Each structure stands twice: as structure tokens, then as C-alpha cells.
């Protein structure tokens, strides 16, 4: 039937359609920036692309006198270090607790309501408490990421475990498998793809927590730099940093997606 839902774009057309919104945004910004700069050449709100490029080259290749670091790479390293530590700890906690609680009925009945309620606490609301408990150093920033991400991963893993076909567990017990053997041989292989997807879905929130913590108390990081230069209306730093953060998050998401395809190809076939 001639309905729009029955037509799918070819691969080449799909690529063009995917690029089109980005080109439109760049074109709109270019036109608006040129219009503002024509009226006020020193306008800071919408700098030119040349200004963006010059600022980023300077921050990437010029040694900062105050920190003796190349600011772009130094800020990136600090933020990624915090992000990877927070995500790694959250994934480990989510995997262990999600499997154990989701697999044992008594534990699921006891802790599922607790994790559901715990995951609804706004992490940024408890940030002052974390600063009081863990100080203003790196620990509080990493704990904030874990506090915000781990409950979501735990619940997602629990749901995946509880959704496993009962027949698989019964067959494993019939063959004499112990609880540990069922977890390692039946549950874990089917949960790992879901864990990777959970981490992928958590990337946006994790970046939010990193930037929020760095904005309040930090001596470096992408979020720290953005909030440091905002008082000078340095949009030639802020906007490229935002784009850089977005690019890093996209690359992380892509890497995790490729990891899931390479490590668990059978799950991709089942999902399709």
C-alpha cells in the first residue's frame, strides 16, 4: 500500500538524511553569526567559525602558564578519568547486585522496592551531602556519578534477569547445575549485552553529573573550564567545548555499540 510507513530510505539516502539536520544547524548559526558580526565585529555571543578554530588551536597547542598544561587535553583527561571511573564502578555494582537480587526471589521481593525508590532520588540534590561526607576532591565527583547511574543499571539488569525464560533455569537445574553455574552459564551471558546497553543509555546522565560536579568545585575538567570562562562571555570556548563533549560521548556510545556487536553477535540477531 502507498503509505509513508512502507517506504525506507536506501543506505546512501539514509546517510544524507542523517547529515542534513547538522548542516541546517551550522548554516543557521553561520547566517546569524555573520549578521551579528556585521553590526558589531566584537560580538561575543555568536563568534565566527574562524574564532572557534583559533581558540581551540591555542588551547590545544599552547602551554598554559598557570597550570603548565595544554588546557584542552588536560581538561579532557580529567573529565574522562572521572567519567570512566564512575561508569566502571556503576557497571560493576549494577551487574553484581542486579544479577543476585534479580535471580533470587526472596532478595528481589526485599530489595526491588528499595532500589526503585533509591533510583528516584535526584543525584544533584544530594551533591552538598556528598561534599560534606567525601570532601571537595575527586571522591565526591565519582560518588555522584555512581549515585546517579548505579541504581538505574541495577534495576535494568534486574528486569533482564527476571525476564529470562523459566524453562532455561529449570533445564539447568535438571542437568544438576548449581546456583553459581546457572548464574555464570545461563544468566551472565544473556545479561552482558543488556549491561552494555544500560551503560550506553547512562552516558548522557554521567556527563551531566561530571560537569555539574566540576562546575562547583574542581581545578580542571571540561565542565570546570566552561563555567570558568562564562563570566567573560567566552562563547568561543564554551561552544567548542560543548561540541567536544558531545563528540566524546558519541564516540563512547559508538565504541560500546561495536563492542556489543563483536562480543555478543547472537544477541544482535535475536534483537533483529
CB atoms within 10 A of CB 210: 28
Say if residue 20 is in the same domain as residue 111.
Answer: no
Q: Is residue 51 part of a domain?
A: no
pTM score = 0.86
Say if residue 148 is in the same domain as residue 23.
Answer: no
Say if residue 162 is in the same domain as residue 225.
Answer: yes
Range of the domain at 9: 4-46
CB atoms within 10 A of CB 50: 9
CB atoms within 10 A of CB 226: 20
Say if residue 61 is in the same domain as residue 22.
Answer: no
Per-residue pLDDT reduced to its tens digit, 183-194: 888 888 889 999
Q: Is residue 187 part of a domain?
A: yes
* Integer Cα distance of 65 and 54 in angstroms: 18
Bigger pLDDT: 152 vs 270: 152
> Given a cut of 70, is residue 230 above it in pLDDT?
yes
Residue range 112-126: mean pLDDT, rounded: 88
**Among 46, 65, 80, residue at a domain's last position:** 46
Per-residue pLDDT reduced to its tens digit, 58-117: 889 988 887 888 889 999 999 999 999 999 999 999 999 999 999 888 999 999 899 888
DSSP 28-84: HHHHHHHHHHHH-TT-SSS--HHHHHHHHHHHHHSB-TTTSSBHHHHHHHHHHHHHH
Domain count, the chain: 2
Per-residue pLDDT reduced to its tens digit, 12-68: 888 888 899 999 989 998 998 888 888 888 778 888 888 889 989 988 998 888 788
What is the pLDDT, as a whole number, of residue 231?
A: 82
Helix (H) or strand (E) holding 183: none
Say if residue 29 is in the same domain as residue 153.
Answer: no
What is the pLDDT, as a whole number, of residue 75?
A: 92
Say if residue 135 is in the same domain as residue 35.
Answer: no
> Given a cut of 80, is residue 152 above it in pLDDT?
yes
> Given a cut of 90, is residue 241 above it in pLDDT?
yes
CATH code where residue 163 lies = 1.10.3720.10
Say if residue 13 is in the same domain as residue 66.
Answer: no
What is the pLDDT, as a whole number, of residue 149?
A: 93
Say if residue 121 is in the same domain as residue 254.
Answer: yes
Q: Is residue 264 part of a domain?
A: yes
Name the burial class of residue 259, with classes exposed (0-12), middle (13-18) and buried (19+) by CB atoms within 10 angstroms of its CB. middle
Amino acid at each position: 500500500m502507498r503509505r509513508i510507513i512502507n517506504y525506507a530510505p536506501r543506505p546512501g539516502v539514509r546517510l544524507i538524511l542523517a547529515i542534513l539536520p547538522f548542516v541546517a544547524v551550522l548554516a543557521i548559526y553561520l547566517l546569524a553569526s555573520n549578521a551579528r558580526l556585521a553590526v558589531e565585529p566584537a560580538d561575543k555571543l555568536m563568534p565566527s567559525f574562524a574564532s572557534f578554530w583559533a581558540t581551540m588551536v591555542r588551547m590545544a597547542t599552547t602551554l598554559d602558564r598557570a597550570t603548565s598544561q595544554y588546557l584542552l587535553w588536560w581538561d579532557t583527561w580529567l573529565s574522562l578519568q572521572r567519567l570512566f571511573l564512575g561508569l566502571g564502578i556503576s557497571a560493576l555494582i549494577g551487574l553484581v547486585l542486579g544479577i543476585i537480587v534479580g535471580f533470587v526471589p526472596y532478595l528481589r521481593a526485599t530489595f526491588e522496592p528499595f532500589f526503585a525508590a533509591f533510583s528516584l532520588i535526584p543525584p544533584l540534590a544530594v551533591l552538598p551531602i556528598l561534599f560534606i561526607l567525601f570532601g571537595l576532591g575527586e571522591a565526591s565527583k565519582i560518588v555522584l556519578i555512581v549515585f546517579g547511574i548505579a541504581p538505574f543499571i541495577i534495576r535494568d539488569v534486574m528486569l533482564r534477569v527476571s525476564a529470562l525464560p523459566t524453562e532455561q533455569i529449570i533445564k539447568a537445574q535438571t542437568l544438576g547445575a548449581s546456583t553459581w553455574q546457572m548464574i555464570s552459564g545461563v544468566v551472565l551471558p544473556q545479561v552482558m549485552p543488556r549491561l552494555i546497553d544500560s551503560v550506553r543509555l547512562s552516558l548522557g546522565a554521567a556527563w551531566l553529573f561530571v560537569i555539574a560536579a566540576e562546575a562547583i568545585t574542581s581545578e580542571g575538567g571540561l565542565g570546570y573550564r566552561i563555567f570558568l570562562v562564562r563570566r567573560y562571555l567566552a562563547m568561543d570556548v564554551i561552544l567548542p567545548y560543548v561540541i567536544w563533549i558531545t563528540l566524546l560521548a558519541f564516540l563512547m556510545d559508538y565504541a560500546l555499540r561495536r563492542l556489543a556487536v563483536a562480543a555478543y553477535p547472537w544477541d544482535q540477531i535475536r534483537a533483529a
